Structures are given as structure tokens and as C-alpha cells.
Amino acid sequence: MPSVCQDCRVRHEGICAVLSPSELRHLARNARHTHHDAGEGLALESGEINGYANVTNGAVKLSRVLRDGRQQLVGLQFAPDLMGRLFRAESPLSAEAASDVELCRFPRGVLEALVASSSNLKQRLLDQSLHDLDEAREWMVTLGRKSAAEKVASLLLLVAKRSGGGSDDSITFDMPIGRADMADFLGLTIETVSRQVSKLRHSGVIAISGHRHVKVLSLRALKDRAG
Amino acid sequence: MPSVCQDCRVRHEGICAVLSPSELRHLARNARHTHHDAGEGLALESGEINGYANVTNGAVKLSRVLRDGRQQLVGLQFAPDLMGRLFRAESPLSAEAASDVELCRFPRGVLEALVASSSNLKQRLLDQSLHDLDEAREWMVTLGRKSAAEKVASLLLLVAKRSGGGSDDSITFDMPIGRADMADFLGLTIETVSRQVSKLRHSGVIAISGHRHVKVLSLRALKDRAG
DNA sequence: ACGACCATTTGATCAGGATCAAGGAACTTG
DNA sequence: CAAGTTCCTTGATCCTGATCAAATGGTCGT
């Protein structure tokens, strides 16, 4: 196994899981691990870098900004997701580290060559993009038809699912994004998000410490409020 | 070439375009052309039918409904799109004929076997799902961050692009969906959609006859208003 | 052509969330 | 440890789009 992959957290997940030893070696030879502080722009799509990357740690936010500055987050990527729009050099999306992030980057051509030769990899990417499509459509319902209260509950639920840890009706996790990004994800303002979070706190559905650390006290109640 | 495909409008587009003659024959042997009136439910996802279909004519709307009846359209499919969620028997989406629709249906297993054996087909499906994902994310911006006026202009533009016909700064097309579906697509009410359409008409950006037939008088003005 | 029905348009009022404006709590920096 | 900065919370008011209500127009069947 390539030495860079030796202690990689996502070695057996994501796209690396479906590569043969020789394919993995080839990819590893061209890969480079990088660290990025929270808030840093990740110029994968446009500009010089022009490649792909596995998220190996942390969370990345994908967003689209309108000419006048209005912003909408269109996705959150966690390990072991692959970042970058396949087969397209330019994408209107911008990516930014939501928390501190570790990436495993590789050049465009290397991955695309692997995709062309590996049916497993192609299948894996098809699965991910179908899954992302399901999530995006689910989110369209949230954006288009839910009230502010339901939107906030839906987002907490979304992150809770990803973060995993917790018992049956109670989960604890850290929000990878602040109130401003939550607002941009939900199509709301900061103030409205804050008010709705407070409402959930006051009604005992969640408990919060340090703005980011969330404990869901009743998962059932939260689901009810998510619409 | 299989006789059913002989005069098929989408023979050289969509997934059929990438199949070898023998693969196409195999698919055609198991395919069945069906007609559906506007408004008819297309139970591809749930229930008995349980298969896939190529849209060969007309437009299909994909929607998601919340328990309390609120509805959000999450996509419009035109020829030669493939309908049906790959590799998943159940999907929370429902499909309905927006206009009169012609489908070319085939059983789940037949297509999935072809996908497993044809790298070209897998590539084609990957391309479509990446494209659908781009569209869904684009729409998230519209739903989350645009005003009612911008939403309606965006939808007209979306359909105009698909429908193609027209000169440089002026396009004519038929809306495949009525005001109610437009509202469900945009996360608005019928009344708001109607008011915004009227506003566009009164300011000379579009002309309308028979509610459905739209002539864009100034594409530039429409784009400006789409945000 | 006539009337019934349906979709759309238009009008009046209401409310949810945006905007404007202060405060408060937690993390930097000296 | 204090001061500054940043992020979050809370309050007051406003406005966009929802809701309620009615009118108009187009289509279809007879």
C-alpha cells in the first residue's frame, strides 16, 4: 500500500475503496495532502489548481453566489466525499473550508484516466452523484416549501445524521458551520436562524453550548418540527 | 435495427445512442411504448410498474410532497431523458405527465444488466446525473435567494432554453405546465406567479396567448430580471 | 350558440420573515 | 487581564408574498 495512504482515514471509504492496488499506487504517486484553515477558499474549480480532491477530514461548503452578492450554499461535503465537478473544468460553484479541512488532492487528468479505465470507479462516482442528486432534491423541498422553523430543524437533522454519534433519541454533535452559513444554506437571514434556534432551545428540543455544540434532547420532537 | 426503434424520435439521443446494435436489440425486445395523458400519474418509482423509461415525447414533472400536502416540483424531464432512480426500487419522488407524454418503458433488471456490462452506458448515465445535479443546485439558488419576480423570470428562461426555437433576442415556446405547477416549482402560490407573469407582460418583456403560449420579446430584459 | 366548468387574473388584507438597530457573550491580541 | 473583535442574540418595524375572496375568460359538451 502506498505510504501516503498508510494511515489515511478514508483509505477504505470513498473512491479509494474501489481502486485496485496498482490503481491506488498510481493515484497516490500523484496525490498531495494539504491542510486548510476554516474559511479558506478552495480553488478547485476555477483558477490555477484545476483538479480534484478527497475530503479526508473536516467539512467543505459548496456555494453559488449571485452577481449582487446574494449567496446560497448548495451542499456540504464531509469525508470521504470527492470534490470537484467531473469532466468539466469550469463550474459556477465555489468551495470553502467550513471547518479546518484536510484534503488529498490530485490533478484532473490522473483521475479522469482512472475513471476511463475502471468500471468500478465509474460505478462509485455514479453512486455518489445519484446520492448527491437525491440530497439536492430533498433540499429543494426544504427551500421551497418549508417554514423558517422547519428549515432550521431540517438542517440540524441533516448534520446530526452525518455526525452519527449518539443514543436512540438523543444525539450530540458540532455544527460545522456558523449562523451566517446556516442562513445561506436555508435561504434565510442570520437573525431568523438565530431566533429559530433559540425557540428550539427554549422548548427543550435541543441544548446548546458555545454556539456550535448541539445536543438533541428529543430526536422525535426535532423530526416533528422538520415538517 | 429493431423495428420499434425504426422511427423513434430519440433513437440517436439519450441512452440508446451509446448502445451497440446487439444491446439495443436486447433492450428493444423488452421495451414497450406507452402513451399517457396530461395529468396522469406515472408510477415508475413505487408500486407495480417498477422500471425505467425513456421520455420520447412530452414533458414529465418530478415532485415531492410533504405529509401535509405541500408540494415541490424538483425537476422537469423532456425527451430523451431517462426516468427512474437507478439502483433503487423505492424513491420518494412521484412522477406525473405534465403534457401528453410518450414513454418507452423497460423492466428494472434489463437496464441494470446493460449498465453493468456497458461502460459507455454507465458513462452516459453519469453524465446525465451530473447534469441533473448541476440543474438541481442551480435551482436551489433560485428557490433560496431570489425574489418572486426573479423566480418567475428564471423559470421562463429555463423552459425557453429547453424549447429552443426562436431568433436572437426573441423566443417563442409553449409552457408545458400550468400556473399551479409553476408555483410548485418556484415555491410560490398560484396568485403570486400570475401577478408576476402579468407584470412581465405589461412591461413588454413577454407576450402571452392562451395562457400557455409565450413569446419572449426581449431575452436580454428577461435575463436581467432573472437575477 | 349557450351554459357549466376550470384555470387564470385581479383585488384586499394579513403574516412570516427581512431589515434596521442595539445589546451580550466568547475568542484574540497586546 | 483588559480591550477589541467577531459572532450571536434579542427587539422593533417594515415589506414581500400568502391568504381570502371575487371576477374574468377560455374550453368543452350539448
B130 lies within 8 A of chain A by CB = yes
Q: What pLDDT score does B70 carry?
A: 94
Lowest-pLDDT range of A179-183, A221-225, B7-11: B7-11
Residue B47 has pLDDT above 90, yes or no: no
What CATH number does the domain located at B147-225 have? 1.10.10.10
**Among partner residues A70, A75, A130, which is closest to B86 by beta-carbon distance?**
A130
- Read off the amino acid at residue A43: A
Query: What local confidence, expressed as pLDDT, does residue B222 receive?
Result: 96
Segment (H or E) for A171: strand A171-174
Residues A76-88 as b/e (b if ≥16 CB within 10 A, e otherwise) read: bbbbbbbbbbbee
Convert B30-49 to b/e letters by CB count within 10 Å (16 or more is b): ebeeeebeeeeebebbeeeb
Least confident of A19-33, A46-60, A67-81, A154-168: A46-60
C-alpha–C-alpha distance, residues B79 and A20, integer Å: 38
CB atoms B145 and A87 under 8 Å:
no
> By mean pLDDT, which of A13-17, A100-104, A154-158, B162-166 is the weakest?
B162-166
What is residue B87's predicted lDDT score, i.e. its pLDDT? 66
Note the pLDDT of residue B29: 93
Contact B50, B81 (CB under 8 A): no
Q: Tell me which residue in A66, A67, A72 faces B140 most closely, judged by beta carbons.
A: A72
* Percent of residues, chain A, with pLDDT higher than 70: 95
What is the arithmetic mean of pLDDT over A197-215?
Answer: 93
Q: Which nucleotides of C are covered by protein (CB under 7 A)?
A: 7-12, 16-21, 26-27
pLDDT score at A39: 87
Per CATH, B3-142 and B147-225 having the same topology is answered no
* Per-residue pLDDT reduced to its tens digit, A101-140: 999 998 889 999 999 999 999 999 999 999 999 999 999 9
CA distance A175 to B105: 44
Q: What is the CATH number of domain B3-142?
A: 2.60.120.10
Confidence tier at B48 by pLDDT (50, 70, 90):
very low
DSSP H or E run through A196: helix A190-202
Q: Name the CATH architecture for the domain at A146-225.
A: Orthogonal Bundle (1.10)
Helix (H/G/I), strand (E/B), else coil: B102: strand
Nearest CA among A9, A4, A26, A10 for reference residue A115: A26
Please indicate whether residue A35 or residue B191 has the higher confidence score (pLDDT). Answer: B191
Contact B133 A136 (CB under 8 A): yes
Mean pLDDT over A63-67 rounds to 93
Predicted local confidence at residue A48, as pLDDT = 46
Of all nucleotides, the one whose C1′ comes closest to residue B147's CA is: D16
Of the candidates A76, A122, A134, the one whose C-alpha atom is nearest the C-alpha of residue B88 is: A134
What is the C-alpha to C-alpha distance for residues A158 and A175, in angstroms, rounded to an integer?
10
Mean pLDDT in residue range A170-176: 91
- Say if residues A161 and A135 touch (Cβ distance below 8 Å): no
CB of B30 closer than 8 Å to CB of B107: yes
Per-residue pLDDT of B177-212, as tens digits, reads: 999 999 999 999 999 999 999 999 999 999 998 888
- Best residue of A129, A155, A185 to probe chain B, by most B CBs closer than 10 Å: A129
Which residue ranges make up each domain of chain B? 3-142, 147-225
Instruction: Quote the pLDDT of residue B49.
Output: 55
**Is residue A59 within 8 Å of A82, Cβ to Cβ?**
no
